[in-house]
Every structure is written in C-alpha cells, then in structure tokens.
C-alpha cells in the first residue's frame, strides 16, 4: 500500500511493520559497521510492507562489494534531517508534494548524468515534474509506479451477464443491474476519509479533468483563486463531484461506519461487486484465503471510451540529497537497485509497474487489465495528492459524501487555497 494513499487508515499495522523493520535494520547495522574498510551509507526507505524487502537488498549490496555498507533507516524525520543538514544518503520513497518541496529548493542533487536517468520512460519521468521542480535538474529517478482503478469481481460480473463498462452510462447500467439483483454494486468505506479521496474523488475528477493543467492554473493564480477565477475547485471540479454523488446510492448503506479493513473483508467475502481501491488492497483481501477472481478497470466518466485513464502515483522514487555524506556510495547503491534483476522483482512482488523503457509487462492477472493504459500513457495523478496537508481536503470530501452542499465545500477549499497562497 502506497504511503501517499493510506497514512491514517492502518496505523496499527504500520507501527507493527515499522517495529519489525527496525529490528531488521538493527540486525544489519552491526555487520555493516564492523566490516573493515566499509564506508557506511544510509538508505531511508519506510514503506511498511516493503521494509523487509529493502533490508534484504541492503544486506545483499553490502555483501556484494567491499567499499560501502548500507544501513536501512526507517525512522528518520525527513524534514528535520534536511533542516539539520544531515539527511540520509539515499532515499527510496513515495514521491509526493512534500518531496516536491525538497526538490524545488535544490536540496536534491542532480542525477541527470547517471545512465539510469536515461532509462526511464519519458512520460513516467514527467510525473515527477507535476510537483515543484528545480530547473535544470533531474532530482529523482522513478523506481516504481502503482496504478489504481475499480477493483471488480469477475465471477459476479459473469453471473449477472455484465461486461466491463467503458462509458459513464454503461457504468450506471452495471450498477443498476447489480442493485436490482440484490448485489451491492460498490463497497465504500467512508469512515476513513483517505479512501474517499483516493477512490471516488480522484477517479471521478481524473476521468473528467486534466489534473496537471488544473493545478498549474491553481498555482499560477495563488491567492487570486476564488468564485470568479478562471479555475477553482468550485468552478472546475463541481461537475465531477456531482457525478461522484450519483454513485453514492450504489454503495453499501453502512458505508459511513465502515473503514478500509472492513472493505477488504467485504470484498473477500463477495459482499459487493466493485471496490474503489488500489493494488495495495489485494494483499489484504488475499489474507482471507478465499478463492476470488478479481480484476481492475478504469472508472469511465464520459461517453467516449478514448477518455479512459487510470490513476497512478510514483510508488517509489530514488533521490540523493545535496548534503549526503556518501554521494559516491549512494550512487553505487542506486545503480544496484536499478538493475533489472533487482528492480523488476520488486515491481512484481508489490503489484507495481516498471518505470524503465524496457520494463516487462505485469504478470499478475489482477492488474493486467491496466497494462494497456499504462503502456499508452493514459494515466493521471490523483487530484487529492496536490492539495497541501494544511487544507483538510480529505475531511472536506468526506463531508460532501456525508450530505454537505458540494458547492459550499468546494468554495471553502478555494478560500483555504487562497489564504495559504497569500501566507506563503
């Protein structure tokens, strides 16, 4: 599960895994520091489910050569480490708005001269530029991309004679058919606001609005965003949000009381035909041990199938701070991580898509239906991911699905955006 998508929904699981990762990292450290002639470098990687994986990679790299030893750090406060001028030597993290701020300020070194930078697909490399950048630098190298769309139960679709919809009206017909057959069309988990933001909100907005252009306009207007501005939350996003509300009657009646864990359990028990979640949910659903046939398709928001796109985010990106103590070692380890025999197994294990021009297609049948959209660059970054944390967007979106007037809530988001831009 990508760290940008569910920071609040799985705190207990994160804490448990972080503790486990801490033990793994600690177990690696004595061998590293005790190896004669090794220079110690720090890898900061804290994606919970991937902690054991990267601890193993750190140990393998340390054993493969005699110059550098890798300490796997999972606990450093990144902002504080940059302020103290003691950041990790190499980061391997989800690339988000916070990381964009480091790049914008020139805190990340230029990696353009590395052969690995030229290996990245151009449309994937451009995803990093959706956030603030430092002109003239390649500050991050995307390591993996996750794609999210509608998870659906193939058996239930077949049982009711349904095909994957490619237009908005077809999707509504699918929902109506399922509902008439006493099958819950969409399982929703409104108790956890992040699930609404990354699912219903991001899918409906991304299916109708050019997300990058929208935020480019919002950033350009800054404090001038308002009811009469050319772009605004209220003016630009009202239509997709209204369509989002059209889907609420097709969700489970107890959605306001159900959280992420409930949704995974419900899908495992075939309590609904569809679920608006990313690939991180598959691992949780799988734990139930039920024999399911699940797939994915992009939520259609228009009557033109050529508009279909999937929501993506840079699951992990590699970067080296300007202030890193071990620049040479960090570059060597980065090159090791980018080797196909190292990078590809990660993407395969964590249901992610490769970032390089020669990356193999995904093999897992649960996400294979998104491959053609990824290959053709038919994707967008989630609209919720570009709103600063100081604006409680997830809670605003939660209030809309709970019955609040969408125009008033979106107008409030405009006002918050304007005030924040004025203060900055």
Cβ partners under 8 Å of residue 12, min gap 6: none
The arithmetic mean of pLDDT across residues 55-78, rounded, is: 94
- Output the pLDDT for position 134: 79
Cβ partners under 8 Å of residue 163, min gap 6: 157
Degrees to nearest 5, angle at CA 245 with 241 and 247: 120
| DSSP string of 162-230, one letter each residue | -----SHHHHHHHHHHHHHTT-EEEE--TTSHHHHIIIIIHHHHHTTS-HHHHHHHHHHHGGG-STTSS
Maximum average pLDDT range among 45-59, 74-88, 326-340: 326-340
Give this prediction's pTM: 0.89
- Give the phi and the psi of residue 68 in degrees, each rounded to 5: -130, 140
Question: Model confidence over 196-225: pLDDT tens digits?
Answer: 999 999 999 999 999 999 999 999 999 999
Question: Model confidence over 144-160: pLDDT tens digits?
Answer: 999 999 999 999 999 99
pLDDT at 72 over 90: yes
Q: DSSP code of 38?
A: P
The arithmetic mean of pLDDT across residues 45-67, rounded, is: 94
pLDDT at 14 over 70: no
pLDDT at 132 over 80: no
Worst-scoring range by mean pLDDT, 41-55, 164-178, 203-217? 41-55
Both tokens of 380, joined, read 């967008």
Q: Which of 335, 366, 360 is nearest to 347 (CA)?
A: 360
How far apart are alpha carbons 421 and 418 in whole angstroms? 5
| DSSP string of 239-286, one letter each residue | HHHHHHHHTGGGB-TTGGG--HHHHHHHHHTT-EEEEEE-THHHHHHH
Domains and CATH numbers, the chain: 11-146+314-376 (3.40.190.10), 147-311+383-423 (3.40.190.10)
The arithmetic mean of pLDDT across residues 91-105, rounded, is: 79
pLDDT band at 26 (very low <50, low <70, confident <90, very high): very low
């Amino acid at each position: 599960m990508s760290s940008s998508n569910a920071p609040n929904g799985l705190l207990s699981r994160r804490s448990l895994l972080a503790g486990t990762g801490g033990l793994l990292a600690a177990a690696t450290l004595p061998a590293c520091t005790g190896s004669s002639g090794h220079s110690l470098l720090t890898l900061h990687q804290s994606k919970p489910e991937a902690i054991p994986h990267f601890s193993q990679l750190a140990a393998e790299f340390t054993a493969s050569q005699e110059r550098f030893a890798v300490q796997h750090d999972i606990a450093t406060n990144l902002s504080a480490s940059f302020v103290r001028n003691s950041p990790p030597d190499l980061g391997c993290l989800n690339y988000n708005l916070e990381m964009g701020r480091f790049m914008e300020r020139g805190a990340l070194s230029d990696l353009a001269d590395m052969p690995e930078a030229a290996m990245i697909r151009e449309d994937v490399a451009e995803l990093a530029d959706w956030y603030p950048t430092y002109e003239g630098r390649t500050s991050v190298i995307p390591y993996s991309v996750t794609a999210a769309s509608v998870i659906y139960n193939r058996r239930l679709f077949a049982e009711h004679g349904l095909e994957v919809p490619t237009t908005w009206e077809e999707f509504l017909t699918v929902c109506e058919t399922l509902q008439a057959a006493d099958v819950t069309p969409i399982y929703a988990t409104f108790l956890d606001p992040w699930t609404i933001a990354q699912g219903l909100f991001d899918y409906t907005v991304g299916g109708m609005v050019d997300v990058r252009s929208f935020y480019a306009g919002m950033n350009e207007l800054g404090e001038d965003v308002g009811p009469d501005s050319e772009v605004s939350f209220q003016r630009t996003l009202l239509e997709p949000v209204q369509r989002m509300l059209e889907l609420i009657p097709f969700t489970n009646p107890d959605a306001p009381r159900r959280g992420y864990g409930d949704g995974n359990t419900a899908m495992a028990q075939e309590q609904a035909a569809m679920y608006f979640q990313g690939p991180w949910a598959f691992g949780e659903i799988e734990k139930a041990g039920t024999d399911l046939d699940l797939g994915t398709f992009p939520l259609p928001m228009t009557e033109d199938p050529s508009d279909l796109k999937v929501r993506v985010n840079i699951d992990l990106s590699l970067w080296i701070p300007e202030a890193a103590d071990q620049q040479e070692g960090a570059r060597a380890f980065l090159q090791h991580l980018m080797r196909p025999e190292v990078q590809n197994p990660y993407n395969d294990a964590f249901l992610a898509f490769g970032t390089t021009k020669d990356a193999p297609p995904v093999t897992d049948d649960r996400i294979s239906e998104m491959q053609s959209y990824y290959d053709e660059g038919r994707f967008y970054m989630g609209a919720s991911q570009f709103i600063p944390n100081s604006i409680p967007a997830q809670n605003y979106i939660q209030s809309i699905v709970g019955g609040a007037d969408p125009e008033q809530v979106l107008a409030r988001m405009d006002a918050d955006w304007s005030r924040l831009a004025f203060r900055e």
